[in-house]
């Protein structure tokens, strides 16, 4: 069990001296088996100049970050100078880390350029001997493989002469990363890339199925098919269902009683009879908001708001 807070781990990350560590680069490939994502990793030999650049990317990312907050699936976008922290085992990254721990770099090098074209992302790996201290993950940018402009011949000017580079494959890496792994935590810098890189959409679909099954067994709503059709493949509502399933407020009888009481008191469009909520296309969004606990009343103005994200005041 972790005995340090996320902020304490972040403070230790800020103090790390990576200058004496081994810097490596790996590519990640994804493949599906029974509709579940699996990952493989291969190392790439890199030169000293690139090592320094990769180290600089990690150091600049850490030094630029001033604050951290807990990552929330329904949270707002991440601001400049901020990271969001989440346990790595809550994401697909635990599969990547598990695979990475098994590999010996010298036995796991890419076999040819074709493997680069199949990559999903890359890892900047900082290692102290056999121990991986931290990794930086980046979903491949669109410019990973540079496209040559039609009608132009690329040239390399070196040692006071031009060389034709028509047949030389050229790749780009980014000067930013999507998240860092350190001490079993992920420190997220790009919410969008983080979620797409670790297949959160598939995870949200799986959570939606669990929610449908559970709420169906509880018999809480009058028409489960109407809810399924309303949500469909819409990422906004899949996200809502994932949050609802994580909270599991709908399994709490007292919570349900309070929803019924408040809906009646404030005339919210949520019917309830014979132990079931009466859903229609106009009140499903309200129903999901209530299960998320995202309808809040201001103690200052007494106004009631539906909020996209809420951070509990300790």
231-246 pLDDT, tens digit per residue, is 999 999 999 999 999 9
Q: How far apart are CA 10 and CA 21, in angstroms?
A: 19
pLDDT score of 145: 67
As a whole number of angstroms, the distance between CA 247 and CA 235 comes to: 18
Instruction: Confirm if 95 and 186 have CB atoms less than 8 A apart.
Output: no
Q: How confident is the model over 113-159, as pLDDT tens digits?
A: 888 888 889 999 999 988 999 999 999 876 666 565 566 666 666 77
Question: Which candidate, 145, 138, 114, 261, places its Cα nearest to that of 192?
Answer: 138
Structure tokens at 179: 């998240």
Rounded CA-CA distance 5/12 in Å is 11
d(CA 18, CA 127): 9
Beta strands in 194-308 (DSSP E): 271-273, 276-278, 295-297, 304-306
Residues of the chain falling short of pLDDT 50: 1
Number of C-beta neighbours around residue 224 at 10 A: 15
């Amino acid at each position: 069990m972790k005995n340090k807070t996320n902020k304490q781990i972040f403070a230790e990350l800020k103090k790390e001296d990576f200058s004496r560590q081994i810097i490596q680069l790996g590519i990640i490939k994804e493949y599906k088996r029974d509709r579940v994502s699996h990952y493989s990793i291969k190392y790439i030999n890199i030169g000293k100049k690139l090592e320094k650049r990769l180290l600089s990317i990690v150091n600049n990312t850490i030094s630029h970050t001033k604050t951290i907050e807990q990552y929330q699936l329904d949270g707002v976008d991440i601001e400049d100078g901020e990271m969001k922290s989440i346990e790595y085992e809550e994401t697909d990254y635990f599969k990547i880390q598990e695979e990475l721990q098994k590999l010996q770099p010298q036995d796991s090098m890419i076999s040819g350029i074709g493997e680069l074209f199949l990559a999903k992302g890359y890892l900047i790996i900082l290692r102290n001997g056999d121990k991986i201290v931290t990794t930086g993950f980046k979903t491949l940018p669109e410019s990973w493989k540079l496209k040559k402009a039609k009608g132009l011949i690329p040239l390399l000017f070196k040692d006071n002469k031009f060389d034709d580079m028509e047949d030389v494959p050229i790749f780009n890496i980014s000067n930013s990363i999507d998240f860092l792994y350190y001490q079993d935590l992920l420190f997220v810098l790009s919410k969008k890339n983080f979620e797409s890189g670790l297949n959160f959409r598939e995870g949200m679909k799986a959570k939606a199925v669990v929610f449908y099954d559970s709420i169906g067994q509880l018999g809480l709503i009058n028409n489960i098919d109407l809810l399924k059709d309303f949500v469909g493949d819409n990422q906004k509502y899949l996200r809502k269902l994932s949050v609802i399933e994580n909270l599991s407020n709908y399994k709490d009888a007292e919570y349900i009683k309070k929803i019924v009481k408040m809906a009646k008191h404030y005339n919210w469009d949520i019917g309830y009879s014979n132990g079931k909520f009466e859903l229609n296309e106009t009140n499903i969004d309200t129903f999901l908001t209530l299960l998320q606990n995202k309808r809040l009343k201001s103690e200052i103005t007494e106004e009631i708001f539906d909020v996209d994200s809420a951070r509990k005041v300790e």
